[in-house]
């Protein structure tokens, strides 16, 4: 096990952890953040952001489907849309990846050391 010394150890790079670590780094505090996954937490990686991206794609699909129904008063007709789910998932993954990179970049810019792994408390002071 590698031992790292720092003034502030932040466990978890979710929205609370990475904001704390970035601010501490900006203030010159020697900071280490430990995260087992990608920075950003549940919301950015598997919750809010990816689900909203997929909801947006579904809404766009529905909008185009409605246009293809032939109900246009302008006489414009379209063929029914198809969905390439692999491309939609890749688009969603690209959004998440860019946001992950943004958080990682902010941590690096603030001088925060990032450790990929797990951390726990030994007792009330360590």
Q: Which CATH superfamily is domain 8-116 in?
A: FAD/NAD(P)-binding domain (3.50.50.60)
The residue count for the chain:
126
According to the model, what pLDDT value does residue 77 have? 77
CA dist 39 and 94 (Å) reads 15
According to the model, what pLDDT value does residue 121 have? 83
Is the pTM higher than 0.95? The answer reads no
Taking the domains of the chain in order of start, what are their residue ranges?
Answer: 8-116
According to the model, what pLDDT value does residue 65 have? 87
Three-class SS state of 107: helix
According to the model, what pLDDT value does residue 2 have? 75
According to the model, what pLDDT value does residue 1 have? 67
CA dist 12 and 18 (Å) reads 8
pLDDT (tens place) for every residue of the chain, 126 residues total: 678 889 999 999 999 999 999 999 999 999 999 999 999 999 999 999 999 999 999 999 998 888 887 777 788 778 889 999 999 999 999 999 999 999 999 999 999 999 999 998 888 877
Say if residue 77 is exposed, middle or buried (CB neighbours under 10 Å; 0-12, 13-18, 19+): exposed
According to the model, what pLDDT value does residue 118 have? 93
């Amino acid at each position: 096990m590698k031992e790292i010394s720092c003034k502030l150890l932040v466990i978890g790079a979710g929205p609370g952890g990475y904001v704390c670590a970035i601010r501490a780094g900006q203030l010159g505090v020697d900071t280490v953040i430990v995260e087992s996954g990608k920075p950003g937490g549940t919301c950015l990686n598997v919750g809010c952001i990816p689900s909203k991206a997929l909801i947006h794609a579904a809404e766009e699909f529905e909008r185009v489907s409605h246009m293809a129904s032939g109900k246009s008063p302008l006489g414009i007709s379209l063929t029914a849309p198809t969905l390439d789910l692999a491309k939609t998932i890749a688009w969603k993954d690209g959004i998440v990846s860019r946001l992950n990179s943004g958080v990682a970049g902010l941590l690096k810019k603030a001088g925060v050391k990032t450790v990929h792994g797990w951390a726990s408390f030994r007792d009330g002071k360590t």
